[in-house]
A and B are shown apart, each in its own frame.
Chain A
Amino acid sequence: MIPAPFDYVAPSTVDDAVRALADAGEDAKVLAGGQSLLPVLRVRLAAPTKIIDLGKVAELRGVREEGDHLVIGSMTTHYEVQRDPLIAEHATLLARATDTVADPQVRHRGTFGGSLAHADPAGDLLAPALALDAEVVIQGMDGKRTATAADFFEDFFTTSLRPDEILVEVRVPKHTGWHAHYEKFNRVAQAWSMVAVAATVRTDGDAIAEAKIGLTNMSSIPMRATAVEQALVGQPATTEAIRAAAEHAAEGTNPTVDGNADVEYRQHLARVLTGRAISAAMAG
């Protein structure tokens, strides 16, 4: 398990990192915690000639408020996301989803931005980002640009990041007071999600005013269960109403087939887990 040879740089500013990336050309890879990249390097599924480690870029870490948004530095670790008071208050869904990521060692090393940029459809943070209508701030040699999560994820392990760009921040609209739950289904605790559902709900009295539902691993990219969201608006938060709405969860999904699940089973799980996610969110 020895990676192919590569050059390694660890810049301390975003500008230096972007320049290093632009200079390195297409064979460079950004290391943003390394919890997905290092295994890939070690089994030699990838052999970049240059690794640009963002671990020393202090400006990429931390969470701050900006009006009605939270701004999360891309190198903020899962461990920090789990414990951040602003995220707990204004983006509860993200904290709950992060709780389920892998194991403590991974959560200490892995980063929120790294996870989004890796764009593994079974990764647990894509669907919450999508459900929360997050935007990503991207920096390249030409400066900064912003993309919505919906535009950012393009395909399996593919985003709209260009080779010379770095994901620097994630802007999450505040969802203060929203109920939230991440319902994850896997075979062993440390495995990736077979299917998972990110649900966050705003209530008005006893009724559901608004719901945002993200699906993990139901397509090559994270998906919103829009039919479920629409069906829930104005509904009482009863088991029956939630179940009925959740029946729409698999609409438009196109899940992969692997050793753990075929299409039919994944779609079935999406329906069951969506109902459970909403109910758990309401109960929490």
Chain B
Amino acid sequence: MTATIEPEVGKGRLRKEDERLVTGRTRWTDNLTLPGLVHLAVLRSTMAHAKIVSIDTSAAKEMPGVVAVFTGDDLDPDGAIGMPCAWPITPDMKSPRRPVLAQGTVNFAGEGVAVVVARGAAEAEDALAEIDVEYDELPVVLGLENALAEGAPLVHEDLGTNRNAVWIFDSGEAGSGAPVEQAISDAEVVLKRRFRQQRLVPAFMEPRACMVDPTAPQLTMWSATQIPHILKTMSALTLGLPEHKIRVIAPDVGGGFGGKIAVLPEEIMCLLVAQKLGKPVKWTESRSETMVAAHHGRDQIQDLTIAATRDGTVTGLKVELLADMGAYLGLVGPGVPILGAFMFNAIYKIPAYHFACTNVFTNTTLTDAYRGAGRPEATFAIERIMDELAAELGMDPMRLREQNWIKHEEFPYTTVSTLTYDSGNYEAATAKAMELFGYESLRQEQRERRDRNDPVQLGIGISTFTEMCGLAPSRVLGSLDYGAGGWEHAAIRMLPTGKVEVITGASAHGQGHETAWSQIVADQLGVPFEDVEVLHGDTQSSHKGLDTYGSRSLAVGGIAVVKATEKVIDKARKVAAHLMECSEDDLEFAGGKFTVKGTDTSTGIGDIALAVFAAHDLPEGIEPTLDSDAVYDPENFSFPHGTHLCATEVDTETGRVRIRSYVCVDDVGKVVNPIIVEGQMHGGLAQGIAQALYEEAVYDESGTLTSGTFADYLLPSAVDLPEFTTDRTETPSTTNPLGVKGVGEAGTIASTPAVVNAVVDAVRHYGVDDIEMPLTPMRVWQAIRTGEKAAGGPGAESGGGLGSIDAAHGGAQ
């Protein structure tokens, strides 16, 4: 064993996991099989809202290969099982029961109605067509304002309302700032804007899948999930199963983006059916099912009122949100918009702030976490309205931001929404970004194009963002009524040959934990990168954890790894002192060796591991193991920030938007692996840009998802995206020993407003002050053509897709 010379942390290591992930030669849930495996296929409702009059499964049962067909009543005759929601945001939040398969009524198109069990997956699918369901149509509730209107039909009659919950934060009441109404009435300038966050599909690459083996004493579930640990506990609670009789394995998982933070009815269904039949079962959804049945993201109407002085100092911000929950509550769905409550004030010193969110039920697929979860929505709205305020005041939009942001010497800074930002340097990131971007020369070109009335107009969009990630300090989650803590677990196993196994409760699904954790451990223990193996995603080996989401893995799980290595070193130090016959205080540990200070006598950690394994000669009272574990509960969130600058060319004849350049300088603190950071930024930017320009889940008036395939739900590919210029500043987090911050969501959070701001900036001189997302060529063209202040702005309703651009609305929205 050789000691590592240069630190691993900071090295651009290629990812250990990429060979198997990129080639697909690995274990995904769908390519696992078991002896005697039977396959499940789910019949899904084509109706958005209807009473189920009858379900006739007799013909399906006669189909070739069919083992059984079950309805909701077959699986849960007492109607006792409800899918869990772990985030009751208010004490009086309305929570409808979400059954495993629909019982009595269907509440969105795509809800499971029956399940076929067959020897082959194709046979199961074939038999679906033979199930006869008679529906009695109910009025369909679509659109946030429609759902709240007087006399609106109800999604859940028994709840008596479509209002799920109302959650309010007020700085006047909290004592963190002044009352906002006063600020607004005293203001020299007040600007109101309505923005719409369209509904999005978290388009992970691997569809969801689940396999359950009931033939061993422990029920084993394999699932393409982000959250194996939570799934284990929640499965036990949901079905009243003893938790120690369940093992959950997340094998390699092909992406999640929040879309796999869920306890699925299909997972519970697999547990029930497997136990009923005593056979292993597997369910793998088709992409068509993903589109209608996997939870969606975003879908909000955002009303903002910003108050400012004439010279550009923001004096107050009021935010009123309507958030579409869909037909039921997901695992953390109601809390997603609430995460945004802390981020509308963003990087700015806003003295008065009010936030109110009304969560609403509609007859649509439920919404829940999607990359950024609450923070992209907030960042979009504040960064858009800062541009609008700049236009109103006739100020340069960057100048306005600079005037209001927290200066680097003011950290730590407690915001009006009560978070304490530990560190940051917005000036440094901005200065670097402005230089890379060539801000002044682009402004010059913009003026020239305007002057000569060029058919291609240029616009510049700014997004200076921060976000809260590294979910999360458990006490903060407690104060938000979240159903769990935010700690993470790690363990180190020192093997007799000096190799190291690292166990993490974070559950990677593409992030690169195996590589990053290996780098961290290599530095901590002074072992080669190659000598570290990272184990995760199986509750039998990784028995404790809270999984991966909210850019938490490194800033929480990575720190747990550090803490566990420190314990290993402490144990090893005692043994080293004993073996070298010196005092522990005389030892220093570096490069994997304990050295007696001032001598060249040393012993390596691998030799100590072997000595401990042999256990022939250990100090009195010392257990023969170096293995250690640690649970780390962060004291604060981490607050990555950055300055994103986007230049777009808008073809005014067709409305087409082309991103000409995109520069981002992000501060994610200390970087463990720059290649992984770069990859996270690129992927995040792609998804954020996609919200701005391409993606939208659209329902028609009957509640049918009309964007149910990737032919209609447009995902950009590499050729549709620009070259990204990414760079970094490095202001370490002060609240964790590595100085790291999260990076998984930063690109998504920051980029959407940068793009929309750039497009609006390109055509503002035509009188355009907003264009609804996604900025399709038709919407952009119509906005230009309408050419007056009224142009743009959101449609009356979320989810309407084209509802806002029909002739009745005068187009251009």
| One of B229-237, B411-419, B773-781 contacting the partner | B773-781
Chain A residue contacts of B125, Cβ below 8 A: 2
Chain A residue contacts of B694, Cβ below 8 A: 187-188
Quick check: is B339 within 8 A (CB to CB) of the other chain?
Answer: no
Quick check: is A161 within 8 A (CB to CB) of the other chain?
Answer: no
Q: How many residues on the B side are at the interface (Cβ–Cβ under 8 A)?
A: 33
In the complex with contacts A43-B709, A272-B654, A260-B776 CB distance below 8 A: yes
Counting contact residues on chain A (CB < 8 A from B), the size range is 20 to 34
- Which B residues from 761 to 813 make CB contacts under 8 A with A? 776-778, 781-782, 801-802, 805-806
Chain B residue contacts of A103, Cβ below 8 A: 717
Do A189 and B126 touch across chains, with their CB atoms under 8 A apart? Answer: no
Do A188 and B717 touch across chains, with their CB atoms under 8 A apart? Answer: yes
Cα–Cα distance between A179 and B525 once the two chains are bound (Å):
69
Among A185, A190, A192, point to the contact of B654 (Cβ < 8 A): A185
Cα–Cα distance between A3 and B715 once the two chains are bound (Å):
25
Do A43 and B288 touch across chains, with their CB atoms under 8 A apart? Answer: yes
Quick check: is B241 within 8 A (CB to CB) of the other chain?
Answer: no
Among B126, B288, B778, point to the contact of A260 (Cβ < 8 A): B778
Quick check: is A262 within 8 A (CB to CB) of the other chain?
Answer: yes
Chain A residue contacts of B126, Cβ below 8 A: 2, 4-5
Instruction: With both chains docked as a complex, state the minimum distance between the C-beta of A91 and any C-beta of chain B, in angstroms.
Output: 26
Quick check: is A283 within 8 A (CB to CB) of the other chain?
Answer: no
- Which B residues from 693 to 724 make CB contacts under 8 A with A? 694, 698, 706-707, 709, 711-712, 714-717, 719-720
Instruction: With both chains docked as a complex, state the minimum distance between the C-beta of A43 and any C-beta of chain B, in angstroms.
Output: 6
Quick check: is A265 within 8 A (CB to CB) of the other chain?
Answer: yes
Quick check: is B287 within 8 A (CB to CB) of the other chain?
Answer: yes
* Mask: chain A, 45-73; 1 = CB below 8 Å from B; 0 = not: 00000000000000000000000000000
* Mask: chain A, 209-248; 1 = CB below 8 Å from B; 0 = not: 0000000000000000000000000000000000000000
Determine the residue in chain B with the shortest Cβ distance to A4: B126
Chain B residue contacts of A273, Cβ below 8 A: 654
Instruction: With both chains docked as a complex, state the minimum distance between the C-beta of B205 and any C-beta of chain A, in angstroms.
Output: 14
Chain B residue contacts of A268, Cβ below 8 A: 781
Do B121 and A269 touch across chains, with their CB atoms under 8 A apart? Answer: no
- Which A residues from 179 to 221 make CB contacts under 8 A with B? 185, 187-192, 194
Quick check: is B497 within 8 A (CB to CB) of the other chain?
Answer: no
Cα–Cα distance between A103 and B710 once the two chains are bound (Å):
14
Chain A residue contacts of B709, Cβ below 8 A: 43
Quick check: is A259 within 8 A (CB to CB) of the other chain?
Answer: yes
Do B654 and A259 touch across chains, with their CB atoms under 8 A apart? Answer: no
Do B711 and A265 touch across chains, with their CB atoms under 8 A apart? Answer: no
Do A259 and B720 touch across chains, with their CB atoms under 8 A apart? Answer: no
Chain A residue contacts of B286, Cβ below 8 A: 1-2
Do B712 and A259 touch across chains, with their CB atoms under 8 A apart? Answer: yes
Cα–Cα distance between A262 and B777 once the two chains are bound (Å):
12
Do A188 and B778 touch across chains, with their CB atoms under 8 A apart? Answer: no
Instruction: With both chains docked as a complex, state the minimum distance between the C-beta of B131 and any C-beta of chain A, in angstroms.
Output: 14
In the complex with contacts A2-B122, A43-B709, A265-B782, A188-B287 CB distance below 8 A: no
In the complex with contacts A1-B286, A5-B126, A259-B706, A189-B653 CB distance below 8 A: no
Do B720 and A188 touch across chains, with their CB atoms under 8 A apart? Answer: yes
Q: Chain B contact residues: over half helix, strand or loop, or mixed?
A: loop
Cα–Cα distance between A189 and B714 once the two chains are bound (Å):
10
Quick check: is A261 within 8 A (CB to CB) of the other chain?
Answer: yes
Among B121, B720, B778, point to the contact of A262 (Cβ < 8 A): B778
Do A188 and B776 touch across chains, with their CB atoms under 8 A apart? Answer: no
Do B777 and A187 touch across chains, with their CB atoms under 8 A apart? Answer: yes
Instruction: With both chains docked as a complex, state the minimum distance between the C-beta of B805 and any C-beta of chain A, in angstroms.
Output: 8
Chain B residue contacts of A189, Cβ below 8 A: 717, 719-720
Determine the residue in chain B with the shortest Cβ distance to A272: B653
Chain B residue contacts of A1, Cβ below 8 A: 286-288
In the complex with contacts A2-B125, A5-B126, A187-B776, A259-B717 CB distance below 8 A: no
Among A2, A43, A191, A261, point to the contact of B778 (Cβ < 8 A): A261
Cα–Cα distance between A43 and B717 once the two chains are bound (Å):
23
Cα–Cα distance between A35 and B714 once the two chains are bound (Å):
18
Chain A residue contacts of B712, Cβ below 8 A: 259
Instruction: With both chains docked as a complex, state the minimum distance between the C-beta of B708 and any C-beta of chain A, in angstroms.
Output: 9
Do B654 and A191 touch across chains, with their CB atoms under 8 A apart? Answer: no
Do A191 and B711 touch across chains, with their CB atoms under 8 A apart? Answer: yes
Do B717 and A190 touch across chains, with their CB atoms under 8 A apart? Answer: yes
Determine the residue in chain A with the shortest Cβ distance to B41: A2
Determine the residue in chain B with the shortest Cβ distance to A3: B122
Instruction: With both chains docked as a complex, state the minimum distance between the C-beta of B150 and any C-beta of chain A, in angstroms.
Output: 31
Cα–Cα distance between A188 and B712 once the two chains are bound (Å):
11
Do B716 and A265 touch across chains, with their CB atoms under 8 A apart? Answer: no
Cα–Cα distance between A190 and B711 once the two chains are bound (Å):
9
Do A187 and B714 touch across chains, with their CB atoms under 8 A apart? Answer: yes
Chain A residue contacts of B777, Cβ below 8 A: 185, 187, 194, 260
Instruction: With both chains docked as a complex, state the minimum distance between the C-beta of B338 and any C-beta of chain A, in angstroms.
Output: 31
Chain A residue contacts of B781, Cβ below 8 A: 265, 268
Determine the residue in chain B with the shortest Cβ distance to A195: B654
Cα–Cα distance between A259 and B712 once the two chains are bound (Å):
8
Do A259 and B707 touch across chains, with their CB atoms under 8 A apart? Answer: yes
Cα–Cα distance between A8 and B778 once the two chains are bound (Å):
43
Determine the residue in chain A with the shortest Cβ distance to B657: A187
- Which A residues from 22 to 47 make CB contacts under 8 A with B? 43
Cα–Cα distance between A1 and B209 once the two chains are bound (Å):
13
Instruction: With both chains docked as a complex, state the minimum distance between the C-beta of B628 and any C-beta of chain A, in angstroms.
Output: 47
Cα–Cα distance between A261 and B802 once the two chains are bound (Å):
9
Cα–Cα distance between A187 and B801 once the two chains are bound (Å):
16
Cα–Cα distance between A170 and B712 once the two chains are bound (Å):
31
Cα–Cα distance between A261 and B776 once the two chains are bound (Å):
9
Do B714 and A2 touch across chains, with their CB atoms under 8 A apart? Answer: no
Cα–Cα distance between A192 and B719 once the two chains are bound (Å):
15
Chain A residue contacts of B776, Cβ below 8 A: 187, 260
Instruction: With both chains docked as a complex, state the minimum distance between the C-beta of B658 and any C-beta of chain A, in angstroms.
Output: 12
Chain A residue contacts of B715, Cβ below 8 A: 188
Instruction: With both chains docked as a complex, state the minimum distance between the C-beta of A104 and any C-beta of chain B, in angstroms.
Output: 11
- Which A residues from 114 to 139 make CB contacts under 8 A with B? none
Given A2-B286, A259-B706, 13 new contacts (CB under 8 A): A1-B286, A2-B121, A2-B125, A185-B654, A188-B714, A188-B717, A188-B720, A189-B720, A191-B714, A259-B801, A260-B776, A261-B778, A262-B806
Shortest 7 CB-CB contacts between residues of A and residues of B: A1-B286, A189-B719, A2-B125, A2-B122, A265-B778, A188-B720, A272-B653
- Which residues does A use to contact B, with CB under 8 Å? 1-2, 4-5, 43, 103, 185, 187-192, 194, 259-262, 265, 268-269, 272-273
A-B contact pairs, 19 of them (CB 8 A): A2-B126, A2-B286, A43-B288, A103-B717, A185-B777, A187-B776, A188-B714, A188-B716, A189-B717, A189-B719, A189-B720, A190-B717, A191-B711, A191-B714, A259-B802, A260-B776, A260-B777, A260-B778, A268-B781
